[in-house]
A = this chain, B = another copy of it.
Amino acid sequence: MSKPTPLSGFPELLPAERVVERAVADSLRRTFALHGFAEIETRAVEPLDQLLRKGETSKEVYVLRRLQEEAAGKDSGMGLHFDLTVPFARYVLENAGKLEFPFRRFQVQKAWRGERPQEGRYREFTQADIDVVMKDELPFHFDVEVARVMAEALAALPLPPMTLRVNNRKLIEGFYRGIGAEDPARVIAVIDKLDKVTADEVSGMLVTDAGLTDSQAEQCLALARITTADASFVDQVRALGVEHELLETGLAELAQVVDGVADLDGERFSVRAQLSLARGLDYYTGTVFEISMDGFENLKSVGGGGRYDALASDGKTTYPGVGISFGISRTLIPLLARGHLAGSRPVPSAVLVAVVDEESRAVSNVVAQQLRARGIPTEVAVAAQKFGKQIRYAERRGIPFVWFPADGADGSHQVKDIRVGNQVDADPASWEPPAEDLHPTVLTPLTDQPAQPHQSAQQQEEIS
């Protein structure tokens, strides 16, 4: 086998980079579980007919065939899932009798899309989803809850600050109805283009495509220009003088979501009511979310979600849901590639136990076991080389401490912090490395500051 080359769109991480990915995934899991969300995993494959229900993604699905089926011209009828929502909806229907509702769940898994790879868009990627799903009716306070849980999760990540943008489909649909638009869905589809074309062009399309008058189009654009960090958007909308019952409901709902996470707004996290936000997919029926990473707006949204009044339905029962998805690969891979993030070392080991000679390897092994027994990741030197060579072995791996076993029964053990060079007597039954050296950590080399560490209880208190 000659040297293989990377596969475009299928990023893989080196061990030190994986440290960062695990820190991010573990931090998300911890926050989600603190809020009572249960973890599930779904299989990688779904029936093709389910995957192709939404026409726009059909071209991006990877279809699966077994080799021998292929020979016989048969199709497995299965494809790899392209998100975690389609599998979750199927899981809820399949297991409805065994689940308790409301069902709060999170999923951290890979998904696959055959689209053209570019920065932030991969053919294989990991994402983290939270959703709450209920039978028949889902109280609105769950919209506030998922926003709150994701906001806390984002604020705790060792990543650049995140912004959660929120809007409400009832608000904009009610507004469009209030100004007399006959086909609000068309208006939403046109407004959704605001991040791609100019406001003038959108204005033109609102007239030609959505059948609005010039002044109606101007009102729609005025609404879309509103973006606030708090509930003050309510007054700005009211100032436009449009009235509709659905608009009132939407205003109240959006204000509740924004107020519900307002206390988290700060250096690590911001919330914005952004009234241009529509999110193309037409199954959203109320709250819509979008996440962006500050300073990396070129990556576009790195997460999103919303309320769907019919996440799943088996004909008899309808399951409404609300949820948000966060793209782990979409944020991490560009940050790692640009050097914004790094793992502090590529191995878990905090200590390398030196080997004096091959005959005494067992002595080194015993020291290592004593350290591991107290939770200190430890490896033993590969060979009884000169100590200088063994120390350089540790240096190359970023292992901070080298342990020199006692030479004979009377000698004493010594441990050396090879970063500063000081060497002291130590007892393998009680010595501890500083807590910050115990496990690999996440560094932010470009800012020269340590990354936000794992969410600690104390930090949580500061946040809440």
A-to-B contact residues, CB < 8 Å:
1-7, 10-15, 18, 21-22, 33-45, 47, 50, 58-70, 76, 78-80, 89-91, 93-96, 98-100, 102, 104-105, 110, 112, 114, 124, 139, 141, 145, 312-315, 346-349, 361, 369-370, 372-380, 382-383, 396-397, 457, 460-461, 464
Contact = CB atoms under 8 A, between A and B. Distances in A.
Given A63-B65, A373-B460, A315 B34 contact: no
B348 A33 contact: yes
10 contacts: A35-B372, A35-B379, A38-B348, A44-B112, A63-B64, A67-B79, A68-B114, A100-B396, A139-B383, A372-B464
A274 to B, nearest CB: 25
A61 B50 contact: no
Given A141-B361, A361-B141, A382-B102, A18 B39 contact: yes
Contacts of A38: 15, 18, 346-348
Q: Assembly of this chain: how many copies?
A: 2
Contact of A36 (B18, B347, B373): B347
Contact of A43 (B10, B39, B370): B10
Contacts of A63: 64-67, 70
Nearest to A53: B1
Given A1-B313, A100-B396, A377-B33, A40 B13 contact: yes
A34 B4 contact: no
Nearest to A51: B67
A377 B34 contact: yes
Q: Which 10 A-B pairs have the closest CB atoms?
A: A36-B379, A66-B114, A36-B349, A33-B348, A15-B38, A10-B43, A373-B461, A369-B464, A373-B460, A34-B372
Contact of A1 (B7, B64, B78, B312): B312
Contacts of A124: 43-45
A2 B124 CA distance: 30
B349 A3 contact: no
A43 B380 CA distance: 30
Contact of A15 (B10, B40, B90): B40
B460 A372 contact: yes
A141 to B, nearest CB: 7
B34 A348 contact: yes
A41 B461 CA distance: 34
The interface residues of chain A, by DSSP majority, are classed as: mixed
A206 to B, nearest CB: 33
Considering residues A4, A37, A94, A105, which has the most beta carbons from chain B within 10 angstroms of its beta carbon?
A4
B67 A59 contact: yes
Nearest to A91: B12
A124 B94 CA distance: 18
Contact of A58 (B21, B61, B67, B90): B67
Contacts of A372: 34-35, 460, 464
A333 B274 CA distance: 46
A89 B94 CA distance: 38
A378 to B, nearest CB: 7
Nearest to A9: B43
Considering residues A315, A347, A397, which has the most beta carbons from chain B within 10 angstroms of its beta carbon?
A347
A6 to B, nearest CB: 7
Given A67-B61, A314-B3, A378 B44 contact: no
Contact of A457 (B61, B64, B375): B375
Given A1-B314, A38-B347, A374-B461, 20 more contacts: A2-B315, A4-B93, A13-B40, A22-B39, A33-B348, A34-B377, A35-B377, A36-B349, A38-B346, A38-B348, A44-B44, A62-B65, A63-B65, A63-B70, A68-B114, A69-B114, A100-B346, A104-B379, A145-B380, A369-B464
